Chain A
């Protein structure tokens, strides 16, 4: 079945195929005629059998047989007759499977028959059939599916099925289906804590042992590597979702104001993080929770808010995500502060507690089980009612990438507590994990290098999993070593396996971002406070010229207000939506190829300044992110209204629909689109101006 070369057809084959097609057409019309006239006689059924014998893919014929079976069943009363009717059908399926063992229709027909439970199932016969089929082709996934179906149907203990997978792997370990079934069975058994499966550590140690035997024997066989990746995922990530960051962080004392007054600088209490909160303009204040994996089910009861502020009436947590699944790493709620009295004397305490709740669940279905409580205080200052109406950014903000970090601002004034990972939950099993992973790393380092991409990728993932565990402790030197090695491996892989280049580049970007932000010492080099004339100082991070292709570790950037990502290779900015404080963003000189890719920015209310110059928007005639990427962005109901409005203004909606959708949600003051193909298009500038009433600067020029 596998690994057989195709041979070109011979001329006589063509003639035979022609004859076969004619016969099939004839049979098919007859069967269809019977189907329409609901003729369920023996002769008619015989015709459908003839058709299926030659072509088991004729799905209508299967359905016709189902109808006929049901129809004829009504006339049968004797259990013996029913049994023989079932046997007839089963035989038809068997004959069809002989023709094509991978016929969906035939397999479904069989399952349908058994599921009707009209007669006791002869399991011996069923398993015998399966054994025969899997002997012919041990990787026939239809067979494996049917086996799972039968095992469930009959109630075969999963332990026994696990043994069966082992038998098949012993026969030939190059069997994706067997490894896959093994992973399913093990998950179930471990989940149920069946006898002998109480210890995840023990089981996984054995599985690692087993699969490495296969990997070392023949590193070029992929099936084992996939199983290893599954094991690694099971080992390296915590079973239950965890809260890893929040903004504001625990114990933060924030001083919020909207307008900066220069003479006030000295007066600002040093113990407070003074922050110019741009969302205050809308009268709201965000609280962000960041989990290690996407979760759903945050509500006012599962994550409740206590405050001396009268806010708690209707707290709504919203997922910050560009997909519609309802799952998200990042959740936000906005506190109404517009009706508060601005007074430097008044401090508000906010407590957030996430309970041990069944409501918060991860994609894999495990729930949040580490109750978490944190609190922070804030005060509002500069209650200047006149300022509320005006826009704080008047002047053009320039992004100078080469600009050295301002020495006049003491970087220490940045509050790194803000990025402290709130969850100090150390895995109780992390020692075992670390040992296990270290062992595996040692092993794969020893695997003689034959440029196996899977070996390299697996080693890189092991290193990163190890690094992730190390980050919970303090062994930063080791951690850096792991990251360096992983970076080297990804660089190798980019050359070794160019067809997956983009994937490796993305992975490399994540490692890079991790390295740059994981410890205060390293991160400090990229952080500063930007003081702008007539403007409040902004917490700035510059990550330029790093060849980043995607964003990672956004949980460490929740406090950033000014982010410079210029001169990278960013194709996606997914993850930035978590940065609810972001005011200015530089994405110039990247590879953003559509407005769809900018969707995360529509979730940031405070964003005012955006530099998109020298990207690739509009360059690619066929843009995969635009047409294939499954974004709900393009399916929004309100989109229609926006389009309608645009049509009235004579804007070409068909051409600019994604731009319309993007700007509809943005609230920008400054925008630069120079150096994008789309900017040269007719009417585009007009469109941008029309869609952004608040826009003051476009492409470096004042528009008013």
Chain B
């Protein structure tokens, strides 16, 4: 895309408080936060669109994005500052890209998420953040009204997630209903008691689960509640969204504890009914997830942040004396100085301390993703719905859950009569990950011969009778690497990348850490500045934030 030498704009001024490269969600949130706090912000992105690794692309530009993000940096050797330059390199995150089928025309009307399958819980932090920052004015959401389906015994089973759903479920035995609702009530009582306890200080613990139960593996707790295997699968994989097989004894660190499980259920249940016009717990942004970083960028821009797209960064400027980064060199050759640098996770930040820390080579976490265009819904009349394949449901060796999100044209991500389906599963090697994704695709869809491809727009609605699988028209399966966010308390920080989760919780958690690092950095210089964003007690940092005013949080720093 940036083949011919371009006319890059010259940026003025040449010095900022914060410079961010890449417009992914974490960078955009930080840009909005920093500009709201009154900092001068420059936000650049090598791409001609917002979102970086978190963007949504028209389908025709999608394959080239997957292959081209491993950009070859063109060192531009002009130097206008006294600092030494270290070349920036970008790594490729995507591998094993495999496409099949043909994209129905008009292909530009298919909008593809890079982070799919992903949703927001109505009550999660991402929604709060949008509301608090004003980003919610720029995005519109629709609910995933079909709820969650669990693949069980070769069929799709609607997950009973409320009292009414349990009542209406005809496949459950009476005793199962009783036990399941009893379990929900127990958890609800615990959540209510915890909330009340938090409000009124500790003390009265009626309704709370005992500590020893909270430390128990969640699956053990569920067994204690006499839940049947199917109900356990419902709670573990379709409500608590566990990724790994909880029955396997070998993967101990991947075992969900009751505390974690209950936390997700609490989020899930507070999500239901938070917004009167939302059905179910999940919402999805219209036009795709790429709208979210854009919304935050707009917030930042409103507060004065400077935005330059199509502007790659080529090198970092090093202050040799202080042994820290002092700025960035852009593709235009211009050097920008700044106090704080925040980089998209595809940039590799070279370490200044040559002796010890080596470039990132953490345990390689991966996520296998699949994107499909299908001709009809997976279950009658459900336009947007989540499907979960619990471990071992596709094959004996399957150790991770596979999640599938089916989206319809009411989200403006595909033309009417078509559906998009996103799949993902965490994996350690590309082979098993892709195998799982492909298996799930085979189970859900048929790859019928292309004989009825013509005119499918008209005929699909009739084909989609109960029991008839949707036809797979186009699919793309690939593997994305997830490297840990390697922020050291330095002036150059790297943001988290899209993870294997269904929501943004852990991404925002990591973003928070990045922000705290930068707060910490600043606070050493100026204490008492106001910054909005996260209200939280951060014991490890010896930091606590309080007194929320109109979305502004004044913070105090205590360094122990």
Contacts and interface: CB of A to CB of B under 8 A. Distances in A.
Tell whether A and B belong to one assembly: yes
Interface of A: 170-173, 212-214, 216-219, 443, 446-448, 450
Given A170-B168, A448-B182, A217 B163 contact: yes
B182 A213 contact: no
26 contacts: A170-B167, A171-B164, A172-B164, A173-B167, A212-B174, A213-B167, A213-B174, A213-B177, A214-B167, A216-B175, A216-B177, A216-B178, A217-B163, A217-B167, A217-B178, A218-B163, A218-B167, A218-B181, A218-B185, A219-B178, A443-B174, A446-B174, A446-B175, A447-B174, A448-B175, A448-B178
Nearest to B166: A217
Residue among B168, B174, B175, B181 with the highest chain A CB neighbour number at 10 A: B174
B404 to A, nearest CB: 28
Given A212-B174, A213-B177, 4 more contacts: A217-B167, A218-B181, A219-B178, A448-B178
A6 B182 CA distance: 28
Nearest to B175: A446
Nearest to A224: B167
B181 to A, nearest CB: 5
A217 B165 CA distance: 10
B363 to A, nearest CB: 44
B486 to A, nearest CB: 49
B141 to A, nearest CB: 23
Given A170-B164, A170-B168, A171-B164, A217 B181 contact: yes
A443 B178 CA distance: 12
Contacts of A213: 167-168, 174, 177
Residue among B167, B174, B181, B182 with the highest chain A CB neighbour number at 10 A: B167
B553 interface: no
Contacts of A446: 174-175
A122 to B, nearest CB: 28
B482 to A, nearest CB: 40
Chain B interface size, as a band, is: 10 to 19
Residue among A214, A218, A443 with the highest chain B CB neighbour number at 10 A: A218
B179 interface: yes
B145 to A, nearest CB: 16
A250 B370 CA distance: 85
Q: Is the interface of A mostly helix, strand, loop or mixed?
A: helix
Interface in B115-167: 163-164, 166-167
A217 B177 contact: yes
Contacts of B179: 448
Contacts of A171: 164
Shortest Cβ-Cβ A-B pairs, 5 listed: A216-B174, A216-B178, A217-B167, A217-B177, A216-B177
Contacts of B168: 170, 213
A447 B176 CA distance: 10
B100 to A, nearest CB: 42
Interface string B161-199: 001101110000011011101100100000000000000
Nearest to A214: B167
Contacts of B181: 217-218
Nearest to B165: A217
A216 B168 CA distance: 12
Given A171-B164, A217-B163, A217-B166, A450 B174 contact: no
B446 to A, nearest CB: 33
A212 B176 CA distance: 13
Contacts of B166: 217
Interface string B261-299: 000000000000000000000000000000000000000
A214 B163 CA distance: 9
B9 to A, nearest CB: 56
A216 B181 CA distance: 9
Contacts of A219: 178
Nearest to B180: A217
Nearest to A173: B167
Contacts of B182: 448, 450
Contacts of B163: 173, 217-218
Contacts of B174: 212-213, 216, 443, 446-447
A450 B174 CA distance: 15
B547 to A, nearest CB: 25
A541 B175 CA distance: 47
Contacts of A212: 174
A444 to B, nearest CB: 10
A447 B181 CA distance: 13
Contacts of B167: 170, 173, 213-214, 217-218
Contacts of A172: 164
B159 to A, nearest CB: 15
A170 B166 CA distance: 11
B164 A173 contact: yes
A446 B181 CA distance: 16
Nearest to B167: A217
A173 B162 CA distance: 12
Nearest to A171: B164
A627 to B, nearest CB: 41
A446 B168 CA distance: 20
A448 B166 CA distance: 17
Nearest to A212: B174
Nearest to A172: B164
B94 to A, nearest CB: 46
Contacts of B185: 218
A575 B167 CA distance: 43
A450 B164 CA distance: 20
Contacts of B177: 213, 216-217
Interface in B421-464: none
Contacts of A214: 167
B201 to A, nearest CB: 21
A483 to B, nearest CB: 26
A659 to B, nearest CB: 53
A439 to B, nearest CB: 11
Contacts of A170: 164, 167-168
A216 B178 CA distance: 5
Residue among A173, A216, A443, A446 with the highest chain B CB neighbour number at 10 A: A216
A212 B173 CA distance: 11
Nearest to B176: A216
Residue among A212, A217, A218, A447 with the highest chain B CB neighbour number at 10 A: A217
A539 to B, nearest CB: 50
A225 to B, nearest CB: 14
Interface string B493-526: 0000000000000000000000000000000000
A606 to B, nearest CB: 54
A219 B164 CA distance: 13
Interface in B297-313: none
A432 to B, nearest CB: 21
A217 B168 CA distance: 10
A214 B174 CA distance: 9
A448 B173 CA distance: 13
A443 B175 CA distance: 9
A397 B164 CA distance: 66
A25 to B, nearest CB: 39
Contacts of A173: 163-164, 167
A172 B163 CA distance: 9
A126 B111 CA distance: 46
A584 to B, nearest CB: 53
A447 B178 contact: yes
Nearest to B179: A448
Nearest to A169: B167
A638 B393 CA distance: 85
Nearest to A450: B182
B178 to A, nearest CB: 4
A285 B178 CA distance: 59
Contacts of A218: 163, 167, 181, 185
A105 B382 CA distance: 45
A65 B124 CA distance: 53
